[in-house]
Amino acid sequence: MNYDTKRDATNYAAINWNSIEDSIDKYTWEKLTSQFWLDTRVPVSNDLDDWRGKLNDLERHTYSKVFAGLTLLDTLQSQDGNVAMLDDARTMQERACFNNIIFMESVHAKSYSTVFSTLLSTSEIDDLFEWVDHNEYMQKKARIINHYYQEGTPLQKKVASVFLESFLFYSGFYTPLWYLGNNKMINAAEIIKLILRDESVHGTYIGYKFQLGFNELSEEKQEEFRNWMYDLLYELYENEEKYAELLYDEIGWTEEVKTFLRYNANKALMNLGQDPLFPDTAADVNPVVMNGISTSSSNHDFFSQVGNSYLLGEVESMSDDDYDI
């Protein structure tokens, strides 16, 4: 019997965390593990009074659909996205980071169900899943991204992932952040902020790994790849515009959501080391939503629930200078 595997026909190497090829892997592992959280620790039921008393029917419908859309995206990330990137890892420590990321994507995907089970009946939940599993624009974005996860090159997979996490999520994130900025539904928003904080690390890390590969290409190949990347972003943006119109026309938020989308599309490009596509900046985004993003939790106790929110440790979102090591 020949027990050789295709990865290594001779010896199987043990992962050595004391011999680090890329210090960004170790740094990212520490960051990821320090911000570990679970949906079940967030007291979403404290939002029930807001849900029943402060939101009208249209707002509840919009809010629910937004969360259903986010569920689909995090399902894609947890079931296919990060798995597709595992074998492209440059180091064993990078694979370990992806193991963490895959698990957290499952926590994200599950956390929306925790919100649903608190706020909605079983038949309402079933209707929502039926809606998102057949919605034209949600399905189109999932199909495009998953196409690259399944068929793309290692660099294309990373671009698809960063576009999904740093850009496509934000047509949905807008709503809980808007309510948070208005001091409503703050516990559900706490979940969103924990997800956002994770996605910030994922987007920066995967963007960094992308740049390592991208910089190895010839100038000509880079140019070709860049054209593909901007075309893909614009195709996704056009689909996002339609999704935003469908979700937000009735409530009157479409234009401000589109601004938020363009701002985040630029941030996705920034994670990939590319120039912005749109003129929009943070100053153009509705300040209530920016306020929602920057609102910090009052609770700094690891794994306890003092007060009405839950945020782990003294951890902040990543920014570019976190990589100035």
Residues serving a catalytic function are 112
Asked if 177 contacts 171 with a C-beta cutoff of 8 angstroms, the reply is: no
In terms of CB distance, is 245 or 322 closer to Fe ion?
Answer: 322
In terms of CB distance, is 204 or 286 closer to Fe ion?
Answer: 204
Residue 134 makes CB contacts below 8 A (sequence gap 6+) with none
- Minimum distance, C-beta of residue 296 to Fe ion, in the bound complex (Å): 21
Q: Where are the alpha helices (DSSP H) in 120-185?
A: 122-132, 136-151, 154-163, 170-181
Asked if 97 contacts 25 with a C-beta cutoff of 8 angstroms, the reply is: yes
Q: Is 165 annotated as a binding residue?
A: yes
Helix 219-248 × helix 170-181 angle, to 10°: 50
Q: Is 300 annotated as a binding residue?
A: no
In terms of CB distance, is 73 or 285 closer to Fe ion?
Answer: 73
Place of tokens 């009157």: 252
Reduced DSSP (H G I as helix, E B as strand, rest coil) percent helix, strand, coil of the chain, to 5 = 70, 0, 30
In terms of CB distance, is 217 or 323 closer to Fe ion?
Answer: 323
Residue 194 makes CB contacts below 8 A (sequence gap 6+) with 35, 37, 42, 310, 311, 312
Q: Ramachandran region of residue 299, left (φ > 0), alpha (ψ -120 to 50) or beta?
A: beta
Residue 244 makes CB contacts below 8 A (sequence gap 6+) with 171, 254, 257, 258, 261
Q: Is 216 annotated as a binding residue?
A: no
In terms of CB distance, is 163 or 263 closer to Fe ion?
Answer: 163
- Minimum distance, C-beta of residue 192 to Fe ion, in the bound complex (Å): 11
Q: Is 147 annotated as a binding residue?
A: no
- Minimum distance, C-beta of residue 127 to Fe ion, in the bound complex (Å): 24
Give the pair of three-digit tokens for residue 303.
């794994």
Q: Is 199 annotated as a binding residue?
A: yes
How far separated are the first and last CA of the chain, in Å rounded?
48
- Minimum distance, C-beta of residue 268 to Fe ion, in the bound complex (Å): 12
CA distance 252 to 248: 6
- Minimum distance, C-beta of residue 85 to Fe ion, in the bound complex (Å): 11
Q: Is 8 annotated as a binding residue?
A: no
Residues forming contacts to Fe ion in the complex (CB under 5 A) are 74, 77, 105, 108, 165, 199, 202
Binding residues: 74, 105, 108, 165, 199, 202
Binding residues for Fe cation: 74, 105, 108, 165, 199, 202
